[in-house]
Amino acid sequence: MAYVINQECIHELDGACVEVCPVDCIYEGLTKRYINPDECIDCGACLPECPVNAIDATGDGPDPVWVADNAAFFTTALPGRDAPLGSPGGAYGTGTIGVDTPLVASWNEE
Ligand code: F3S
């Protein structure tokens, strides 16, 4: 089970988490970051770095909505994309993805 990023990251995009992640598994959407559940090694390094407490450890019972949404960023074809992102092996290589999940996009419309 991986760590997850919740709604507090939306429009924050601080990025301190990205700097400390040893496997570079925190990817940038349009207005929020997402943790790849297949690449995260559950080290916990990102947790204390977030200035807005947007990261939840699965052991602490994060909202299942955000567990599913972090996974969906990688396992479903995002709006405007033909295929799922999958597990690219690091956010440095992909750069900013530039699109959010439908849930986050709708969150921004509220
Ligand atoms: Fe990365 Fe460890 Fe967090 S692998 S996403 S810094 S729990």
CA distance 49 to 68: 23
Centre of ligand 1 from the C-alpha of residue 44, in Å: 5
Per-residue model confidence (pLDDT) at position 2: 87
pTM: 0.94
Q: Are 48 and 4 in contact (CB under 8 A)?
A: no
Is residue 36 in a domain? yes
Could you list the residue range(s) of the whole structural domain that residue 57 is in?
3-92
Q: Which two tokens stand for residue 5?
A: 């990023």
Is residue 108 in a domain? no
Q: Which atom of ligand 1 is nearest to the CA of 42?
A: 7
Q: Which atom of ligand 1 is nearest to the CA of 57?
A: 7
46 lines ligand 1 (CB under 6 A): yes
Is residue 39 in a domain? yes
| Protein residue whose Cα sits closest to atom 2 of ligand 1 | 43
Q: How confident is the model at residue 59 (pLDDT cuts 50, 70, 90)?
A: low
Per-residue model confidence as pLDDT tens digits over 3-49 = 999 999 999 999 999 999 999 999 999 999 999 999 999 999 999 99
Is residue 56 in a domain? yes
**Average pLDDT, rounded, for the chain:** 94
Q: How confident is the model at residue 62 (pLDDT cuts 50, 70, 90)?
A: confident
